[in-house]
Amino acid sequence: MKTVRPATGASSSALRLFVMRLHFYAGLFIGPFIFVAALSGTLYVLTPQIEDVLYREQLLSKTAGTPQPLAVQIQSARSAVGEGPRLFAVRPAAGDGQATRVMFTQTGLGDSENRAIFIDPVSLAVQGDLVVYGTSGILPFRTALDYLHRNLLLGDLGRNYSELAASWLWVAVLGGVLLWFWQKRTPKSASARGASARRLHTTIGLWISVGLLFLSATGLTWSRWAGDNIDRFRTEAGWITPSVSLDLGGGNAAAGGEHAEHQGHGGTTAPSSAPLMSEAELAARTDEVLAVARAGGIDSPMVEIRPPRAAGKAWMVREYDRRWPTQVDTIAIDPDTMAITSRADFETFPIVAKLIRWGIDAHMGILFGMANQIVMAALGIALMVAIVYGYRIWWLRRPSPGNAQRTLIKAWSYLSVRAKLLSVIAAIALGWALPLMGASLAAFVCIDLVRWGLTGLWENPGKGEKPA
């Protein structure tokens, strides 16, 4: 009996057709979300210099001379805000001609937002009163762009848009690379409809593919649903960023997330029973705390000092210079003994924690200064151009209304049994890890089912073209 071998050519063509449909669906339906994320992200990375100009009155001091003690500067800021807000942190002037930033918490502000009073460190004049955001302390203009990029200014509901874009971006990129590889072996006619747009779309996509994979991976770490899964995985794998313990019972760096400095961690010895000092007493010790931190290795000019939040908690002094070389060391200081009780030095971070820190900072255009900004802006602009050319390809080659031959389900139906099984397993796994990808893929399938049913393909399952 003659052995029948599988048609490997047909199987390869079926896989190519399926990848083509998946790449097309990701571009058609998710493309607008990716475009908006690219546009808002590009605007964000280009704005630090604009912000420096917009807020020069607040950021730059007007008086030359010897800076006043931090305690006096804090008192000047307190006089400006009144008795309601609570002292949160102090950022001493990072150099000559720069203002000190005294930050307060108060009701009515959003998560990670603080009220910052800008003080001339020499004259003690109040130069500004602005709301700042996040551990970077960005000012209102960039904060608005940050919210636009993250959630379209729609709150938690809007975060779904950016997560959807990040969830599908890597799929579109890898699908495009595969299609380019297959196309090399079976080139299209140069006179085909949309050939020029396709060539430009492909060329741009290939050149920026690695950068887009980086953006997708780092963007997912900030997302709402997938980000939670990533955090759990990092915890289970031990890929967590060390942070200091603010509990005076502990002495070693504790494991925590990127913002773990907001939390206290348990320790091994009895915590201090002394009551929390008044704000005036805490402010009076700020200069001493900074001196202890400098002696303890906190050498960046960009430092933030946070007083204890409660009795039994430590001062925290952290570097916030996330350029290259990265200076983000953090220490905790006992308010009674002025001894360093805990520290987290960047040079001792595990390599994975360092890569995560560098990846996030590069995504934000911070890591290498202006060079990083230029690269990220070029990447964002190139991505938007590629999306525009992708839509032009679709418009020039769009199918006639009611034609359901070019559906994802139809392409999937041509796969081998093993390929179908593997694709279903992959879809379930990715849907669990990236919930919005799973939900949107289910929506794609529902759209296909409706199109398939409306064109009578249920009654004629053999109708339509077979993969070449």
The kind and range of the H/E element at 292 are helix 286-295
- Residue 413: alpha-carbon gap to chain centroid: 37
Least confident of 47-51, 161-165, 316-320: 47-51
Please, what sign has the CA dihedral across residues 112, 258, 305, 322?
negative
Which domain-ending residue is among 103, 138, 173? 138
Residues 78, 223: one domain? no
Average pLDDT over residues 366-373: 95
Residues 18, 70: one domain? no
Average pLDDT over residues 291-303: 97
pLDDT digits (tens, 9 = 90+) for 27-46: 999 999 999 999 999 999 99
Residues 106, 162: one domain? no
365 within a domain of the structure (yes/no):
no
288 within a domain of the structure (yes/no):
yes
22 pLDDT more than 60: yes
Q: What is the pLDDT of residue 450?
A: 81
Q: What is the pLDDT of residue 238?
A: 85
Contact 434, 426 (CB under 8 A): no
pLDDT digits (tens, 9 = 90+) for 199-225: 999 999 999 999 999 999 999 998 999
Contact 132, 110 (CB under 8 A): no
What's the pLDDT band for 25 if we cut at 50, 70, 90? Answer: very high
Residues 376, 312: Cα–Cα separation, whole Å: 44
Residues 160, 289: one domain? no
Residues 184, 111: one domain? no
Residues 40, 166: one domain? yes
What's the pLDDT band for 97 if we cut at 50, 70, 90? Answer: very high
361 within a domain of the structure (yes/no):
no
Which residue has better confidence, 278 or 285?
Answer: 285
324 pLDDT more than 60: yes
Residues 245, 340: Cα–Cα separation, whole Å: 11
Q: What is the pLDDT of residue 66?
A: 94
What's the pLDDT band for 184 if we cut at 50, 70, 90? Answer: confident
pTM equals 0.87
356 within a domain of the structure (yes/no):
no
Nearest-CA neighbor of 391 among 211, 201, 239, 146? 201
Query: What does residue 331 show for φ and ψ, rounded to 5 degrees?
Result: -135, 155
DSSP state of 187: P
Residues 255, 326: one domain? yes
Residues 223, 192: one domain? yes
C-alpha radius of gyration, the chain, whole number: 28
What's the pLDDT band for 254 if we cut at 50, 70, 90? Answer: very low
466 within a domain of the structure (yes/no):
no
Domain tally for the chain? 3
Residues 224, 244: one domain? no
Residues 251, 340: one domain? yes
Residues 77, 204: one domain? no
Which residue has better confidence, 259 or 143?
Answer: 143
Please, what sign has the CA dihedral across residues 223, 114, 321, 298?
negative
What's the pLDDT band for 194 if we cut at 50, 70, 90? Answer: confident
Residues 385, 393: Cα–Cα separation, whole Å: 12
What's the pLDDT band for 272 if we cut at 50, 70, 90? Answer: very low
Least confident of 85-99, 248-262, 290-304: 248-262
pLDDT digits (tens, 9 = 90+) for 115-150: 999 999 999 999 999 999 988 899 999 999 999 999
Structural domain containing residue 253: 240-349
Chain mean pLDDT for the chain? 87
Q: What is the pLDDT of residue 1?
A: 43
262 within a domain of the structure (yes/no):
yes
264 within a domain of the structure (yes/no):
yes
Residues 43, 40: Cα–Cα separation, whole Å: 5
106 within a domain of the structure (yes/no):
yes
Residues 115, 85: Cα–Cα separation, whole Å: 8
Residues 461, 468: Cα–Cα separation, whole Å: 18
Residues 79, 72: Cα–Cα separation, whole Å: 11
Residues 38, 158: one domain? yes
